[in-house]
Structure 1
């Protein structure tokens, strides 16, 4: 519909604010990923959700990959970087839990995160974690291995689900008494189970770091036989 412009002439007029923004595009993309998975995301669906043409998306992003990169950053921003430096152990535990919560909230985004987690927009987060490890005496050749281990644990825990119970074992016959007792004694929540697993992993890495310090050899090096 035509309307008068400020000089009194009739014209199509332009909205005072943009119809779409980078943020609104990413929000729409995330809704689609949550519903249809990464394979169901395309520019046409995003445009339809925003009631615009697909061509208008190119004013904000060059292609779909740029949208996925921005979506990854959006999800990573939910993982807060503490303002004050903590021990590398606490940083590792907290980071693993935050990663798990993000994946539980957006489980279908897991392939997107896993494929792009180690790209440039993650540098600040990794620098914070690695700095705490360096300050704690973790050998450099163990630092990224620890980061990857946290990513794997967070992903695996998220795939299991936000919570679970041992009913999945069914009605275990009495001929398996050890299993029956273990099920009865197992009262960990999903978060508690991840927590003890992460802390057990930390102790293993601490032992490896200590071995390297005592032997004076790079971590992982063994004597030739």
Structure 2
């Protein structure tokens, strides 16, 4: 789990706790999970906590402060893999955990679109850069690969959220017009998880072909 960030796995455990900044942030995440990002404001949060709005400012500065803390809380669910010597497996496991955190909290995804993860988890991103460098990724490509892994994780979380809402294309009477797309979608033979892992693997292989990528030496 990312150092310094509390777990967001149970967003209702705060209910019986004394008032604190952590309680305010977890209550905010609960509102966002349930009703969406746009539903959160100071008045709604005070109602959720059954306190007066003025009391909240003893624990948080403003809504922007709350949103950044909510993002940090969700990023705290990302589990850092054990170092087993395989840099590829390490990257796959980390990216998978990143995606899973946002599948659990899809309404937080808009907060991730402006580089916020890197600003909040500098230590984790630095560790990731080191793992990739040790694995044989050229230094000049490390940042680009990290951006690609992040984009795949966030993108798949968005698609997973859309699928859960039943947002798959409905071609209706225009099925013939869009038959190539309809046929391609109908021919999918992998689960969402399998497609996700295939995309990660393809990206990693594109940067460092398996026969060229070295495994990290023990202790590095």
Q: Kindly indicate whether the alpha-carbon contact (under 8 Å) linking 2:27 and 2:48 is maintained by their aligned counterparts in 1.
A: yes
Q: Which has the higher contact order (CA 8 A, sep 6+)?
A: 2
Give the number of aligned pairs. Answer: 188
State the distance in 2 between where 1:18 and 1:201 align. 44
TM (norm. structure 2) is 0.73
SS in 2 for 1:188: coil
State the distance in 2 between where 1:202 and 1:179 align. 29
Q: Kindly indicate whether the alpha-carbon contact (under 8 Å) linking 1:38 and 1:112 is maintained by their aligned counterparts in 2.
A: no
Q: Kindly indicate whether the alpha-carbon contact (under 8 Å) linking 1:81 and 1:128 is maintained by their aligned counterparts in 2.
A: no
Structure 1: segments with no counterpart, 5+ residues: 1-16, 211-225
Find the counterpart in structure 1 of residue 190 from structure 2. 188
State the distance in 2 between where 1:35 and 1:66 align. 20
State the distance in 1 between where 2:208 and 2:142 align. 11
State the distance in 2 between where 1:18 and 1:107 align. 26
> What does 1:31-180 align with in structure 2 at a 5 Å threshold?
31-84=30-83, 86-115=85-114, 116-119=116-119, 121-161=120-160, 180=183
1:171-219 deviation per Cα after TM superposition (whole angstroms, max 9, x unaligned) = 977xx79975x66753200010010111011111115xx7xxxxxxxxx
Q: Note the C-alpha offset of 1:79.
A: 0.6
Q: Kindly indicate whether the alpha-carbon contact (under 8 Å) linking 2:83 and 2:90 is maintained by their aligned counterparts in 1.
A: no
Alignment root-mean-square deviation, CA: 2.9
1:178–1:25 Cα change, 3 Å: closer
State the distance in 2 between where 1:93 and 1:44 align. 41
Structure 2: segments with no counterpart, 5+ residues: 1-15, 213-220
Find the counterpart in structure 2 of residue 22 from structure 1. 21
